[in-house]
Amino acid sequence: MKMSGLLNRRSQDLAGVVGTVRRIEPGTPVPKRLGAKDVAVLDLNRAPVETARALVEAEVAAVVHVPAPGEEMLPRAAFRTLAASTVPVIEDADLADVADGTRVRIDDGVIYSVKSEDELAGGREVGAATLLAEVDSAEKNYVESALAHLANATEFLSLEHPLLLDGEGLPEIDVDFTDRHVVVVTGDASSRAQLAELKPFIREYRPLLVGVDGGAELLRSTRVTADVVVATPTEVSDEVLTDGAVLVVPADRDGRAEGLEKITELGVGATTFPAAATARDMALLLAYHGGAEMIVVTGDDRGLENAFRPASAPSSTMVDTTVSSRLVHAHACATLYRSRGSGIGLALIVLAALVAVGAVVVARDAAQDLLLWAIETWNSFALWVQGLVH
């Protein structure tokens, strides 16, 4: 007997379900060919109910819920849809090191390699009743977190509404934001990839660059010079502080700021910003009240999935609302820029085609006919390009 046949029979004899790992990233559709021989691995906290329905219809072998590190369950309808089905749902299984396409066997929540029978991850299979109870608990926790967060945000508003509405208390710095594009780079884990996506945008528009805490280190590591750094001096390197950027040091409302001794030792100038806000929020307010035309910010988005997490600052809820008319998330900006670039590329291709057609016309028609054709075609082409750009 061939070895492959022996392995297949052995896998079939063992308990549990067997399938191929298929990772589904947030915001991407369920693969059309997904079926009973696949194990769907995804973050159900980011999955719409349509994704869950597609998984049920595909009759996948199992669904493995892999949330972001440290993230609790959200009361998403996707969980309820799966609870009402016969598809096994596995939780608490760390599949970070398991590649897409790996053949696995799942028995009692534990995930094994079909090839070696090694244990890849220890999880737990949750039944319908348990899953529904978890969702009910998540819903209660979510609402309680939201109420506490909004209460703190309201308190921040009562303290800082002069700053939010009129910019009272903003430090005066030697940077002119008026009618400029501004990119605020935070120290969030997602900022590095987003900054890479923004490089074409930065090259063309030459925006003012503001590094916030670890975001200032990130800019320096990518050999990009920050115009402004908003950071606690002890949280960034000496090189960041001495690179020539305008330094803004966050301070408490009473004016106390951490790390000013380091600034003094390095012999560089800095301005303190007293406010009950985060460094990120201070950067946004500096750009907004400074007259920036558009503010692009990197980092985790502040949708409902993230808005009420313990790590989400209540001040950011009010600051983001204040600057919302000019605020664009980095991923959205990069996506729009790519679309614009694609349109211009297409326009150049069409122009080249028009030139080729013109050459044919030269060979066949009289000069007067060519001139009329060229004027007419160019006018239509120019109007079309204007539509792409605007």
Report the predicted TM-score, pTM, of the whole model to 2 decimal places: 0.78
Are 268 and 241 in contact by the 8 Å Cβ rule? The answer is yes
Q: Name the residue ranges covered by the structural domains of the chain.
A: 3-126, 146-325, 338-389
pLDDT (tens digit per residue) in 298-329:
998 888 888 888 888 999 999 999 999 999 99
pLDDT (tens digit per residue) in 27-40:
899 998 999 999 99
| pLDDT higher than 80, residue 377 | no
**CATH ID of 146-325, from 3.90.25, 3.30.200, 3.40.50, 3.40.190:** 3.40.50
Structure tokens at 144: 């309680």
| pLDDT higher than 80, residue 388 | no
As a whole number of angstroms, the distance between CA 289 and CA 291 comes to: 5
Q: Which residue has the higher pLDDT, 14 or 178?
A: 178
**CATH ID of 3-126, from 3.30.1700.10, 3.40.30.10, 3.20.19.10, 2.120.10.30:** 3.20.19.10
**DSSP bridge pairs for 228:** 210, 246
Confidence of residue 187 (pLDDT cuts 50, 70, 90): very high
CA triplet 291, 336, 330: central angle to 5 degrees?
60
Percent of the chain with pLDDT over 70: 83
* Mean pLDDT, range 333-357, rounded to an integer: 58
| pLDDT higher than 60, residue 381 | no
Confidence of residue 80 (pLDDT cuts 50, 70, 90): very high
pLDDT (tens digit per residue) in 158-175:
999 999 999 999 999 999
What is the reported pLDDT for 380? Answer: 65
pLDDT (tens digit per residue) in 261-281:
999 999 999 999 999 999 999
- The sign of the dihedral angle between the CA atoms of 272, 276, 279, 281 is negative
| pLDDT higher than 70, residue 387 | no
Are 272 and 257 in contact by the 8 Å Cβ rule? The answer is yes
Confidence of residue 241 (pLDDT cuts 50, 70, 90): very high
From first CA to last CA, the distance across the chain in angstroms is 67
* Mean pLDDT, range 336-351, rounded to an integer: 55
- The sign of the dihedral angle between the CA atoms of 219, 223, 227, 230 is positive
Residue 277: which of 159, 171, 191 has the closest Cα?
159
What is the reported pLDDT for 1? Answer: 34
What is the reported pLDDT for 16? Answer: 85
Percent of the chain with pLDDT over 90: 74
Q: Which residue has the higher pLDDT, 376 or 199?
A: 199
Confidence of residue 355 (pLDDT cuts 50, 70, 90): low
As a whole number of angstroms, the distance between CA 298 and CA 342 comes to: 23
- The sign of the dihedral angle between the CA atoms of 340, 346, 348, 351 is negative
Specify the pairing of strand 62-65 against strand 89-91. Answer: parallel
Phi, psi at residue 294, to the nearest 5°?
-150, 140
What is the number of other CB atoms lying within 10 angstroms of the CB of residue 128? 14
Are 21 and 41 in contact by the 8 Å Cβ rule? The answer is yes
| pLDDT higher than 90, residue 211 | yes
**DSSP bridge pairs for 250:** 273
pLDDT (tens digit per residue) in 40-77:
999 999 999 999 999 999 999 999 999 988 888 999 99
| pLDDT higher than 50, residue 4 | no
What is the reported pLDDT for 3? Answer: 36
* Mean pLDDT, range 13-17, rounded to an integer: 77
Half-sphere exposure of 347 (CA within 13 A, CB side): 17
What is the reported pLDDT for 8? Answer: 46
Are 154 and 321 in contact by the 8 Å Cβ rule? The answer is no
* Mean pLDDT, range 105-129, rounded to an integer: 94
Per the prediction, the chain carries an average pLDDT of: 87
Phi, psi at residue 260, to the nearest 5°?
-65, -25
